[in-house]
C-alpha cells in the first residue's frame, strides 16, 4: 500500500484530521484527504477541530479543503470514507473498470462496533471524533503495514 485518501463531506473536520493523524503514524505512505462536497474548497480545517487536534500534538495547519474527483480513483491505492453517504457519493464517481477499494474507516477502530465516524461539525464532539479516528488509524496502520 503506497497511498491512502481519506474522504468526508466538507474536508474540514473528519478527513483532514484522519489525514493528519495517519501521516504521523505512517510517513512512508502518501496520505491526502478530500470532501465529496465543494462547500469549503480552499479553506483550512475547521478551527475547533484544528484546536482539538493541536491539543494532542497533531498539526493540521498546512491542510486545505479540496473536492473529491473521479481521478482520485486512479491516484490512490485505497480510499477510506467516514460514512455511508460519503461511500455512495464516491462510488457514484467510480470510472468504468476501476477496482480501487473504498472502505469505511470506523470499523478499523479497536472497539470495532461503529460503522461510521459521526460528523463533529454537527455533534460538536471533536474529542470523541479524534478518539475514534486515532483508534481507526492504528487499526488501518496494522492492516496495511
Give the residue with the Cβ less far from ligand 4NP, 7 or 29: 7
Q: Nine-digit cell at 5?
A: 485518501
Q: Supply the minimum distance, in Å, between the C-beta of residue 144 and ligand 4NP.
A: 22
Q: Which of 13, 14, 87, 129 is catalytic?
A: 14
Residue nearest to ligand 4NP (CB): 10
Distance (Å, whole) CA 99 – CA 36: 19
Give the residue from 10, 140, 9, 64 showing the smallest Cα distance to 132: 140
Q: Supply the minimum distance, in Å, between the C-beta of residue 28 and ligand 4NP.
A: 26
Chain residues that interact with ligand 4NP, rule: CB under 6 A: 8-14, 39, 119, 121
DSSP string, 4-46: EEEEESSSSSHHHHHHHHHHHH-TTSEEEEEESS-TTTTPPPP
- 10 to each of 28, 68, 82, 117, 142, how far by Cα in Å? 26, 10, 11, 13, 27
| Annotated catalytic residue 127 | no
| Annotated catalytic residue 8 | yes
Q: Which of 23, 83, 119, 129 is catalytic?
A: 119
Give the residue with the Cβ less far from ligand 4NP, 11 or 135: 11
| Annotated catalytic residue 26 | no
What residues are annotated to the active site?
A: 8, 14, 119
Amino acid at each position: 500500500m503506497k497511498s491512502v485518501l481519506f474522504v468526508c463531506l466538507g474536508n474540514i473536520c473528519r478527513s483532514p484530521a484522519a489525514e493528519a493523524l495517519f501521516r504521523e503514524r505512517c510517513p512512508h505512505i502518501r496520505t491526502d484527504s478530500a470532501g465529496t462536497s465543494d462547500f469549503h474548497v480552499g479553506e483550512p480545517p475547521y478551527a475547533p477541530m484544528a484546536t482539538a487536534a493541536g491539543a494532542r500534538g497533531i498539526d493540521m495547519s498546512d491542510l486545505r479543503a479540496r473536492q473529491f474527483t473521479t481521478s482520485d480513483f486512479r491516484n490512490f491505492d485505497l480510499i477510506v470514507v467516514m460514512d455511508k453517504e460519503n461511500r455512495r457519493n464516491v462510488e457514484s464517481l467510480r470510472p468504468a473498470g476501476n477496482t480501487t477499494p473504498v472502505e469505511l474507516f470506523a470499523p478499523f477502530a479497536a472497539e470495532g462496533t461503529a460503522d461510521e465516524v459521526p460528523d463533529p461539525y454537527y455533534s460538536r464532539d471533536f474529542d470523541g471524533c479524534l478518539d475514534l479516528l486515532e483508534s481507526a488509524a492504528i487499526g488501518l496502520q496494522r492492516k496495511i503495514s
